[in-house]
Amino acid sequence: MSNGALDGDGVQYSVIFVNHSSQTGSACIYQEDPDLSVPNVMSLAWFVKAAAPTTRIQFSWEIDYDFVWSETGNLVPGVVFVASQTWPANLTTTNQVTFTRSGGAYTFKDQMEGTRDGILYINEDSTIPIGQAAVGIGMSGFGTFAVQAQPNQFLNFTPSPQYWITFGNFIQGEVMDISVTTSAARIDFPPNVYSMTATLEPDNTWTIIPTSLANARFLEARAELPELAWGEHPEALQPASR
């Protein structure tokens, strides 16, 4: 299920990541959006946190949109998009902005109500050089999608994001190469569920379930192993087989 059709509802979503693998690395949440309607758009590493084996971390956000830009040079996988401006937006009254360059400096200006609700518009004016900057949209204060900036382009982002989690070596804001990303799993929030638990298992597969179910399973396991801590794998407390 996508959770991007509405914004500003004040609901906080969260993902608890539990590392049951033997690897230390970075848990990364990113977004995909097959209906975004912008050619050559690229996903960014939205949230990234380091996690050692047996640890758990939490990611939280609200569906609040932003306009973002960065002076990236050529926008290719591996480049890090560090937003130089982050302007809050919504899908109704502040959903259009102009991207311009004046006196050698890039900036947003003229934020206004766009033609249609549900679309985020970026007007790139004639001052924008080719191959030097990137523009895009973000959520909850961090960039999610970016595209190479060009002069005289009018971009229409129609967000309805899908959330994904992966694990490896990532930097927040890094341009993702979705076509080669391995060991990624989609996170779908069922109706009226706002917290999910994503567990990277010892065999490097994913288990993704509502946090309420993860809590129930923990209580069941703890009935057998009273010393078990939340997020700890029961096998870690079992005697080694001989």
One digit per residue, pLDDT tens: the chain, 242 residues?
344 444 556 899 999 999 999 999 999 999 998 778 898 999 999 999 999 999 999 999 999 999 999 999 999 999 999 999 999 999 999 999 999 999 999 999 999 999 999 999 999 999 999 999 999 999 999 999 999 999 999 999 999 989 999 999 999 999 998 776 768 999 999 999 999 999 999 999 999 999 999 888 777 767 777 776 766 676 655 444 43
**Predicted pLDDT of residue 235:** 65
**Predicted pLDDT of residue 241:** 41
| 3-class secondary structure per residue, the chain | CCCCCCCCCCCEEEEEEEECCCCCEEEEEEEECCCCCCCCCEEEEEEEEEECCCCEEEEEEECCEEEEEECCCCCCCCCECCCCEEEEECCCCCCEEEEEEECCEEEEEEEECCCCCCCEEEEECCCCCCCCCEEEEEECCEEEEEEECCCCEEEEECCCCEEEEEEECCCCCEECCHHHCCCCEEECCCCCCCEEEEEECCCCCEEEEEHHHHHHHHHHHHHHCCCCCCCCCHHHHCCCCC
Neighbours of 236 (CB within 10 A): 13
**Predicted pLDDT of residue 3:** 46
Rg of the chain in Å (alpha carbons): 20
Question: What is the rounded CA–CA span in Å between residue 67 and residue 73?
Answer: 18
Q: In the structure encoding, which two tokens stand for residue 230, read together?
A: 């939340």
How does strand 85-89 pair with strand 42-43?
Answer: unpaired
Neighbours of 235 (CB within 10 A): 9
Domain boundaries, the chain: 30-52+64-182
